[in-house]
Amino acid sequence: MSHLHEDKIKFLEEKANLVRQSLIEELVEAGSGHTAGPLGMADIFTALYFHILNHDAKNPAWEERDRLILSNGHIVPIRYAVMAHAGYFPLEELKTLRKFGTRLQGHPERPIMPALESTSGPLGSGLGQAAGVALAARMDGKKFRVYCIMSDGEQDAGNIWESAMFAGANKLSNLTAILDRNNIQINGMTENVMPLEPIREKYEAFGWHVIDIDGHNMEEIVDGVEQAKAIYEKPTLIIAHVIPGKGVKEIEFDYIWHGKSPKPEEAEKFLAELRTLGGKIKSEHE
């Protein structure tokens, strides 16, 4: 396991809770968007932007930055929330989510927000993009790492497996994919819609190193990424087991909330629960 200092764990957990609150606020303001998936991935995005990634919010085009490709673009509201807290743009701008002319579109658009590495929408495309960036970095002798976040539902897409085969064949050890394994997709549970298991064995057959983690445990998240850096000549898949809707008990594991945003009265309940949770996190570390 990683040796995160207790103060850093507390900082990351408290930050993730604040990020979840910002997410609810931006979704209710927009009146549309995805709730369950973004809540489930709040801890991972927080760990990435506040501990793992080599990046500079004041210079998002920095050549040596790590690249983070978001394949399941519909969960981008959580990325926006974390980026705002990390200083990429003012928190107030989160209120423009999905509004006409905003930089914060419902799916990430690189031309209007350069801090995003790619434009995404069609599921299944991100892993191929990330593999291409990783191969180019290796050819150019660059030392930055490439991360790709993808959903479990998009493993239904055939181009995911073409990309997995390509990355394995080229031994892209500078590529780490993080699988949002929340077990839901827009019309039900993944194993009912299109069974995905055994995911580990599938990726291993394509030449990947595979790690399973608790996607809500900051130490396991960081440890998984550190382990990936130590793997020789293989890309790494981190299967992050997460709870969709994490932090709001009423909607956890309810696939109806995959593509649904809270109404004002629901948002107030959700925010109250998250604020209470924030108090518990603080007391646990005192």
pTM comes to 0.96
Give the pLDDT mean for 37-49: 97
pLDDT of res. 275:
95
Q: What is the mean pLDDT of the chain?
A: 95
Contacts by residues 193-201 (CB-CB < 8 Å, ≥ 24 positions apart) = 193/153, 193/156, 194/156, 196/152, 196/155, 196/156, 199/152, 199/155, 199/239, 200/239
Which fold, 6-284?
Rossmann fold (3.40.50)
Does the pLDDT of residue 52 top 60, yes or no?
Answer: yes
Percent of the chain topping pLDDT 90: 89
pLDDT digits (tens, 9 = 90+) for 172-211: 999 999 999 999 988 889 999 999 999 999 999 999 999 9
pLDDT digits (tens, 9 = 90+) for 77-87: 999 999 999 99
Distance CA 52, CA 222 (A): 7
**Helix axis angle, 218-229 to 6-30, nearest 10°:** 100
Give the pLDDT mean for 225-232: 96
pLDDT digits (tens, 9 = 90+) for 103-117: 999 899 999 988 999
pLDDT of res. 245:
95
Q: Are strands 67-70 and 146-151 parallel, antiparallel or unpaired?
A: parallel
Percent of the chain topping pLDDT 70: 99
Domain ranges of the chain: 6-284
> Please, which pLDDT band fits residue 2 given cuts at 50, 70 and 90?
low
